[in-house]
Amino acid sequence: NAGVTQTPKFQVLKTGQSMTLQCAQDMNHEYMSWYRQDPGMGLRLIHYSVGAGITDQGEVPNGYNVSRSTTEDFPLRLLSAAPSQTSVYFCASSYLEGRREKLFFGSGTQLSVL
């Protein structure tokens, strides 16, 4: 089992460029989500999904788009990168059932926007 796989691990963008952060899980989890981690701010939820075709906004959704066409994949799109989006991004997935509910995290993507 690979768990949650994020690519790329590092990325440098120029202001205004677009890119997609990839996230895939092989645990058949219904729930997938994206977080950003900034010093002193903890982890902030960007977007989440409870199943294919269903997405919803988190705490800091502006500037990011998501879609969920399959159970396994949940890509995060930056349409026009800004320096404020410099951060470490984590994808996480989970079963929705209470007893099995716990987030499994990917290894993160370190993004710098110049």
Partner 1 sequence: AQSVAQPEDQVNVAEGNPLTVKCTYSVSGNPYLFWYVQYPNRGLQFLLKYITGDNLVKGSYGFEAEFNKSQTSFHLKKPSALVSDSALYFCAVRDRTSGTYKYIFGTGTRLKVLA
What residues line the site for partner 1 (CB under 8 A)? Answer: 31, 33, 35, 40-45, 48, 50, 56, 58-59, 90, 92, 96, 98-99, 101-108
In whole angstroms, the minimum distance from the beta carbon of 14 to partner 1 comes to 27
Which has the closest alpha carbon to 49: 73, 17, 26?
73
Residue 96 or 114: which CB sits closer to partner 1? 96
To the nearest whole angstrom, how small is the minimum distance from the Cβ of residue 32 to partner 1?
Answer: 10
Q: d(Cα 52, Cα 8) in Å, to the nearest integer?
A: 23
Question: Strands 104-105, 42-51: parallel, antiparallel or unpaired by DSSP?
Answer: unpaired
